């Protein structure tokens, strides 16, 4: 009987720990994640504008490394950074958001520079949007 | 004669400048939502909202990617995307509407203006008419627009299982904060 209580108790503790870890599961770390795709910014935008459904199939939720020329770097008032990559289009580009924690890597980048930005693709509005970005060296 | 030419030129320049500033836009607008219950607070932020405001007609458009909402906990984000808003199936939410009291706003004069915005909000494949109070602040040629309103998940056919119903508020508070820049034509 004692043994039974012990086992039940142990099981409950394990379940609680697993539950807690699962609940606090960290976000995917883009910096250490392997890129699923490596693509030039104009090509990425083109794929999305030509066939959004197919591009969504291909890129959504994937870690994408995008290479392109920096159009603008704008920090917001909370310390996050928005970086736009030029995609040979006046109206649209690739917008990459850097969380505060990774903002440092984007802070030293200048407009006109060629960079590779790695982030999670979330789809297209006018621009293709990547979140949780880091600059790849 | 010289003066006439100069004046005409100035007029033309002014006219084009005014015309170019009819529309304001942003691609990095912020939308966040907040659900508060005694069990749990849930908050998500999106900083890549695209929006256009036409100061002549008062028309407003917003578009946002559901997958670009970021939560504190990865699990919340996963549940939000997979179970609730089904962002794979419905990747975007949008609002299309207009300022109901446009005559109360002078976009050419610095100031703070209270507005009411009416239009249609599309979320999770469901379109519903909404009305929200907002504030427009014009300062040095840039336009800031902010609004806070509530929506109910049930209105947009977002099914929440009974098991977690108590953790998600019946009314979700949505906060919109846009910094518009003049759209150069």
pLDDT of residue B144: 96
**Neighboring chain B residues of A131 at a CB cutoff of 8 Å:** 48, 67-68, 70
Q: Give pLDDT, residue B49.
A: 95
The answer to whether the CB atoms of A129 and B48 lie below 8 A apart is yes
> Is B27 within 8 Å of A125 when comparing Cβ atoms?
yes
Secondary structure (DSSP) of B82-130: IIIS-TTT--EEEEEEEETTGGG--TTS-EEEEEEEEEEEEETTEEEEE
The pLDDT score that the predictor gives to residue B2 is 53
pLDDT at B158 over 80: yes
Chain A residue at shortest CA distance from B78: A27
The pLDDT, as a whole number, for residue B153 is 93
The answer to whether residue B8 scores a pLDDT higher than 60 is no
Test mutation, A129, A130, A132, chain B, max B CBs within 10 A:
A129
Residue A20 or B129, more confident: B129
Which pLDDT score is estimated for B19? Answer: 54
Cβ of B74 and A60 within 8 Å? Answer: no
The one-character DSSP state at B67 is G
Strands B111-123 and B70-71, sheet pairing: unpaired
Q: Do A131 and B48 touch (CB under 8 A)?
A: yes
Long-range contacts of B35-40 (CB under 8 A, 24+ apart): B35/B168, B35/B169, B35/B172, B35/B173, B36/B169, B36/B173, B37/B166, B37/B167, B37/B168, B37/B169, B39/B166, B39/B167, B40/B167
Whole-number mean pLDDT of chain A? Answer: 90
Q: Is the pLDDT of residue B16 over 60?
A: no
Whole-number percent of chain B with pLDDT over 70: 88
ipTM for the complex shown: 0.83
Whether the per-residue pLDDT at B139 is higher than 90: the answer is yes
Say yes or no to pLDDT of B3 above 80: no
Q: What is the pTM of this model?
A: 0.84
Tens of pLDDT, residues A77-125: 888 899 999 999 888 999 999 988 888 878 788 899 999 999 999 999 9
Q: Is A122's CB within 8 Å of B92's CB?
A: no
Residue B184's pLDDT band (boundaries 50, 70, 90)? confident
At A108 the pLDDT is 83
In whole numbers, what is the pLDDT of chain B averaged over residues?
89
Given a cut of 90, whether residue B137 has pLDDT beyond it is yes
Please, which residues 28-57 of chain B have a Cβ atom closer than 8 Å to chain A? 28, 30, 47-48, 50
In whole angstroms, give the CA distance from residue B72 to residue B75.
9
For residues B112 and B137, the answer to whether their CB atoms sit within 8 Å is yes
Rounded to an integer, the average pLDDT of B82-108 is 94
pLDDT beyond 90 at B135: yes
> In this model, does residue A36 exceed pLDDT 60?
yes
Asked which of A4-8, A56-60, B17-21, B41-45 is least confident by mean pLDDT, the reply is B17-21
């Amino acid at each position: 009987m004692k043994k039974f209580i012990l086992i039940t108790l142990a099981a409950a503790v394990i379940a609680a720990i697993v539950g807690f870890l699962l609940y606090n599961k960290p976000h995917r770390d883009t910096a250490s994640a392997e890129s699923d795709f490596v693509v030039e910014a104009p090509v990425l935008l083109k794929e999305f504008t030509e066939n959004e459904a197919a591009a969504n199939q291909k890129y959504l939720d994937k870690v994408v490394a995008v290479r392109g020329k920096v159009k603008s770097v704008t920090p917001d008032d909370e310390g996050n950074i928005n970086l736009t990559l030029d995609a040979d289009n006046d109206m649209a580009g690739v917008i990459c958001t850097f969380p505060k924690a990774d903002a440092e890597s984007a802070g030293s980048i200048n407009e006109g520079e060629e960079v590779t930005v790695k982030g999670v693709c979330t789809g297209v509005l006018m621009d293709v949007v990547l979140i949780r970005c880091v600059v790849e060296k | 004669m010289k003066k006439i030419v100069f004046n005409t030129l100035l007029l033309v320049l002014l006219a084009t400048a005014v015309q170019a500033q009819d529309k304001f836009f942003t691609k990095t607008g912020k939308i966040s939502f907040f659900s508060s219950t005694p069990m749990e607070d849930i908050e998500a932020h999106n900083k890549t909202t695209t929006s256009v405001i036409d100061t002549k007609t008062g028309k407003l458009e917003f578009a946002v990617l559901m997958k670009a909402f970021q939560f504190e906990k990865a699990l919340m984000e996963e549940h939000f995307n997979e179970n609730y808003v089904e962002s794979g199936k419905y990747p975007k939410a949008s609002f299309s509407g207009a300022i109901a009291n446009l005559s109360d706003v002078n976009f050419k004069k610095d100031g703070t203006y209270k507005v009411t915005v009416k239009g249609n909000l599309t979320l999770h494949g469901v379109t519903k008419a909404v009305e929200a109070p907002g504030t427009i602040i014009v300062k040095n040629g840039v336009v800031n627009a902010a609004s806070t309103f509530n929506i109910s998940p049930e209105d947009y056919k977002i099914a929440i299982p009974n098991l977690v119903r108590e953790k998600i508020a019946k009314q979700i508070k949505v906060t919109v904060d846009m910094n518009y820049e003049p759209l150069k034509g």
